[in-house]
Amino acid sequence: MLETNVNATKNVRTVREDDSSLKKVLNIIGLFIFGGMALTSVTNAMPPDYMIEYFLFIAGSALIYYFLVNIYFLGQTWRKVFYGVISLLGVGSLIMAFYLVNHSSH
């Protein structure tokens, strides 16, 4: 007869991969993205007023990016916050796109 080994199933644990390496990679990718955007201001001449606005945009975008990357790795509850913020940004982007299409002056 076949017998099942009950002790073998008791010691099963789920091993989770270390997320720190993925977090590190995402932070480095962000560094290249926002560093490249800042470098664009050097290679393309802009008036000083536009330069300030451009750097404020880069700073705001980088702040949101690093905030989202870091809260994603805090745990399950914070991942729900992450997905909520991403959803709000996506819906807001769609609403803004439709608004600009309807109210643009061509």
* Contact in structure between 67 and 26 (CB atoms under 8 Å): no
Q: Average pLDDT in the 47-60 region?
A: 92
Looking at residue 95, its pLDDT comes to 97
pLDDT category at 46 given cuts 50, 70, 90 is confident
Q: Average pLDDT in the 42-50 region?
A: 88
Distance CA 71, CA 62 (A): 14
Listed by start position, the domains of the chain span: 19-103
Which residue intervals of 1-75 are DSSP H helices? 6-10, 20-43, 48-72
Distance CA 30, CA 58 (A): 11
Place of tokens 């990357």: 69
pTM: 0.72
Query: Is 60 exceeded by the pLDDT of residue 58?
Result: yes
Query: Is 70 exceeded by the pLDDT of residue 21?
Result: yes
Looking at residue 48, its pLDDT comes to 86
pLDDT category at 19 given cuts 50, 70, 90 is confident
Looking at residue 3, its pLDDT comes to 62
